[in-house]
Structures are given as structure tokens and as C-alpha cells.
Amino acid sequence: MTQQTPSQSTAPLDALIAGYHRFRQIGWTPHRERWTALGEGQQPEVMIIACSDSRVDPAQIFDVDPGEIFVVRNVAALVPPFETAPGHHGVSAALEFAVQVLKVKEIVVMGHGMCGGCKAALTQAMRGTEPGHGGFIADWISMLDDAREPVAETYGTEGREAERAMEMAAVCVSLDNLMTFPCIDAKVKAGSLRLRGAFFAISDGVLHIMDDTTRTFAPVV
């Protein structure tokens, strides 16, 4: 086994390795039998789509073990619409795997407080930038352009009230886009798959779940 040499050592990697040692000691070793079973395959019943933001780790928020949730994280927790144009459709590939192969029973789209992607969608700060200099983000969050308009009209484009409205509207965009996938639409209508909206902010630590009918978010008590 190759040992880490001092020349490879950096503060960020050292912190990760220290965490790895803690995980080995208290997370992995005492539950070795469970991990051996998981080594044979995974059967998560839930897929979670969350933001890449470092403050909203679904495994931590829902206190789940390995094997329990299938997760996709990206900027602003967005699901693009069903598209067959050439390109590399990462979210679509993950959805296909979760729905058709793993046969998850629920897909949870979880937005979050202080989302930089949603804020950029609201302010349009990245618009017109080159790929590699904000252009990829601008293109990605342009998925929120239609949802942005009523938010900007009602709340303006700055301040937490506007940002929070945009963050919750983004969850609805992803939920609507999920239904453009024929395999998801069919399973939802057949009752074998359920879609849910959720929202979490690290500042108050409160999870909100969206009401399917009213599309309003209520705190979980």
C-alpha cells in the first residue's frame, strides 16, 4: 500500500484524510457486515436531486447510510427537460438509471436557502459571459428564465424575499421538467413513482416539504 508522502500533503487533503480515518473507525468498521452486503448491489428507494452547494448534503440532512439514497447534485438542483439533442445529458442518464434500473419509488427535488445558482438566475449576473468564465452557469440557469419573471415582478431581483421565492420556484421548474420524461410521466400516472419538492436552509436547519396541489412549502414538524 502506498503511503502518503509529505510532498503530496496539503491542508485540504489532510482534512479529507483525517475525516476518512474517522469514517473507517466509527462509520465503516463497526458495520462491516452491512457494507459487505451493499458490495453486492444497491437498492435505494429514493432519488434526491440537490444543489452542489457544500451546505446541503442530502445524506447528512436525512441522516441516511450508504445505499439508502441515489443522489444527483448540480448547480441549483435543476432537472433539464427531456431532450434528445446531441450532447452529454448527465442528469437524464442518472434519472434513467434511477427510474428504469433501480426503480426508485420517490424522486425528491430539494432546493435550498442562499442558492448561488438561483441568485444568478435572478440577477442575470452571468449573462453574456464566455464558457469557462460564467457561460456554462449562465446557460444552465437559463432554465429558470421563465420562472424568474413572475418572481422578479413580485419581489424584484434583490434581497432574501426575492431569492427565496426564486429558490422555491426553481424546485417547481425541476418537478415540471421531470414530467417531460416519458418514463417518469408514465410511472407517476401509474402510481409507481412519486415526485416531491423540498427546501432546506442551513441557517435555520428546517426542512420544508412542498404541497403538491398548492405548491407551497411547509416546515416539517
Chain residues binding Zn ion by CB under 5 A are 51, 53, 115, 117
- What span, in angstroms and rounded, lies between the C-alpha atoms of 112 and 60? 14
Query: Given the complex with Zn ion, which of 44 and 117 has the nearer CB atom?
Result: 117
CB of 75 to Zn ion, least distance (A): 7
Q: Compare residues 57 and 65 and give the one whose CB is closer to Zn ion.
A: 57
**CA pair distance 132, 83, nearest whole angstrom:** 23
- Please say whether the beta carbons of 179 and 173 come within 8 A: no
Length, in residues, of the chain: 221
In which residue are the cell numbers 476518512 written?
Answer: 20
Residue type, 16: L
Given strand 106-112, what is the order of strands in its sheet? Answer: 69-74, 46-51, 106-112, 194-201, 206-210, 217-219
Q: How far is the CB of 55 from Zn ion (least distance, A)?
A: 8
3-state secondary structure of 4: coil
Residue with Cβ nearer Zn ion (99 or 121) = 121
Q: What minimum distance in Å lies between the beta carbon of 12 and Zn ion?
A: 21
Instruction: Please give the sequence-ordered ranges of beta strands (E in DSSP) within 42-168, or none if there are none.
Output: 46-51, 69-74, 106-112
Cα–Cα distance measured from residue 178 to residue 216, given in angstroms and rounded to the nearest whole number? 18
Q: Kindly tell me which of 68 and 163 has the beta carbon lying closer to Zn ion.
A: 163
**Which is closer to Zn ion, CB of 97 or CB of 136?**
136
Q: Measured between alpha carbons, how far is 16 from 40 in angstroms, rounded to an integer?
A: 27
Instruction: Report in angstroms how near the CB of residue 113 gets to Zn ion at its nearest.
Output: 9
- State the greatest distance between any 2 C-alpha atoms of the chain, in Å, as a whole number: 60
Q: Closer CB to Zn ion, residue 140 or residue 181? A: 140
- Considering the complex, what minimum distance in angstroms separates the CB of residue 50 from Zn ion? 8
Smallest separation (angstroms) from Zn ion to the CB of 51:
3
